[in-house]
Amino acid sequence: MVAMGFMQSIKVCLSKYVVFSGRATRSEYWWFVLFVVLSSIVLAVLDQTIFGTNPDTGESANVLNSGFQLAVFLPMLAVGWRRLHDTGRPGWYLLLPLALGLATMIALLSGVAVFSALESGVDDPEALRGPAAFLGLTGMIVVWGLQLVLSIMMIWWLTRPSQEGDNAYGPPAV
């Protein structure tokens, strides 16, 4: 297996825009990640230069960078999926941090709704604010820890060497 170069990685990843089957080498994945990061930095600078900043918020319009991020979302997901396949893991593992984020949002919104409903049914709603804050803070600490562990695991998996020979996801990437 020969390591893929920067330009070749970009070409392969963009030509396999939504290909989630097969395998991707470490060099294919990480060169494409570098391309996305560098392009995002350049586009952020261009956004700042071309569109300036909002005087009220101090933020720049993110027109070019947002469009680029939207355009490379599927290729990044696909190459990460294939990269996990190359290490012998299912590609859907890449969705675990996203799933945790969605579950956290649902839990937070449900908690707010439950405590709002409870507040209307008690004589002293202030008495519920302490437990609500404690549960919210504890939940956020737990989720933060889980997200940290998932992020470290994901980086670990994406940096692992390719499995030798064929695996459940096909022959080694070339």
Q: Specify whether the backbone of 22 is left (phi greater than 0), alpha (psi in -120 to 50) or beta.
A: left
How many percent of the chain have pLDDT more than 70?
99
pLDDT band at 125, cuts 50/70/90?
confident
Backbone angles phi, psi at 60, to 5 degrees: -90, 155
Per-residue pLDDT, 108: 85
> Which residue type sits at 173?
A
| pLDDT higher than 70, residue 1 | no
The tens digit of pLDDT for each residue in 57-115 reads 878 888 999 999 999 999 999 999 999 999 999 999 999 999 999 999 998 888 888 87
Task: Please tell me which residue, 129 or 93, carries the higher pLDDT value.
Answer: 93
pLDDT band at 2, cuts 50/70/90?
low
Per-residue pLDDT, 40: 97
| pLDDT higher than 90, residue 157 | yes
> Can you tell me whether residue 167 is helix, strand or coil?
strand
30 touches 36 (CB < 8 A) = no
| Mean per-residue pLDDT of the chain | 90
> Which residue type sits at 81?
W
> Can you tell me whether residue 60 is helix, strand or coil?
strand
**What are the C-alpha distances in Å from 113 to residues 20, 118, 140?**
38, 9, 17
DSSP 16: T
Where does 66-169 show beta strands of DSSP type E? none
Angle at 156 between CA 80 and CA 163, to 5 degrees: 70
Whose tokens are 């060497």? That residue is: 161
| pLDDT higher than 80, residue 174 | no
Length of the chain in terms of residues written: 174
> Which residue type sits at 63?
V
Angle at 118 between CA 114 and CA 121, to 5 degrees: 150
Q: Which of 69, 87, 114 is nearest to 28 (CA)?
A: 87
Per the structure block, which two tokens stand in for 23? 């395998």
